[in-house]
Amino acid sequence: MNKLNVVGNAIKKINLAYLINELEKQQEIAYKLEFVNEENMEEMKRRELVKESKESCARLLKEHLVGFLTNNPGAVYEDWIRHLHPDNADYDDGRIDHRFYVEDSDHRHMWNEKMMEQVDCVERIVDSRHILPAYNHHA
C-alpha cells in the first residue's frame, strides 16, 4: 500500500505541475492579448484624431475658398492657390507647385467639386495633370 501511495502522490505532483504550467501559458497569452487590445485602442484613437483633423482642415479650406470667390468672382484656380499658399506660387516661371494638379489634390477637388460644379462653372474645372515641377523661387 505504501508503494501505491508513493505512486499516487507522484502522479498528483505531475498533474499539479502540468496544471501550473498550463495556467502560466494561459496567463502569458492573456497578457499578450491585453497588449494587442491596448495597441488596437490606441490606433483607433489616432485614426479618429486624423479624421477629425482632416475634416477641420477641409472646413477651413472651404471657408477660405468661399470667401475668396466672393471677393474675386472671376478668379481661376491658380489665383486661389497663389492667395492661399503664396510660398507655393513664388516661382520664376509663374507656375504654382505641380502637386496642386495631381489626381488626389484636396485643393483641386475642393475647387472642382465643392465650388465650380455647384455654381455651374464647368469651364473653370481643373483637370489633374502631370507637369514638371518648377524649382527656381523668386529671389
Mean pLDDT of 83-92: 89
- Domain residues for the domain of 108 are 72-139
Task: Give tens-digit pLDDT for 107-137.
Answer: 999 999 878 877 778 888 888 888 777 677 6
Question: Is residue 139 pLDDT above 60, yes or no?
Answer: no
Domain end point (choices 35, 59, 83) = 59
- What is the pLDDT confidence band of residue 93, given thresholds at 50, 70 and 90? confident
The pLDDT of 79-102, averaged and rounded, is 90
* pLDDT of amino acid 92: 80
Asked whether residue 83 is assigned to any structural domain, the reply reads yes
The larger pLDDT score, comparing residue 93 to residue 104, is at 104
Is 67 among the domain residues? no
Are residue 86 and residue 118 in the same domain, yes or no? yes
Q: What gap in Å lies between CA 87 and CA 72, rounded to an integer? A: 20
Kindly state whether residue 88 falls inside one of the protein's structural domains. yes
Domain identity same for 54 and 97: no
Mind giving me the DSSP string for 93-122? TSPPPGGGGSTT-HHHHIIIIIIITTTT-G
**Would residue 64 count as lying in a domain?**
no
The secondary structure element, H or E, covering residue 82 is helix 77-84
**Same domain assignment for residues 108 and 130:** yes
pLDDT in the model for residue 110: 92
* Distance separating alpha carbons of residues 68 and 64, to the nearest angstrom: 6
Same domain for 25 and 77, yes or no, is no
Q: Are residues 102 and 137 in the same domain?
A: yes
pTM over 0.85: no
129 and 93 in one domain?
yes
Read off the pLDDT of residues 5-38 as tens digits, 9 standing for 90 and up: 766 676 767 777 788 888 888 999 999 999 999 9
Q: Please check whether residue 66 lies inside any domain of the structure.
A: no
pLDDT in tens, 46-86: 999 999 999 999 999 999 999 999 999 999 999 999 999 99
116 in Cβ contact with 122 (< 8 Å): yes
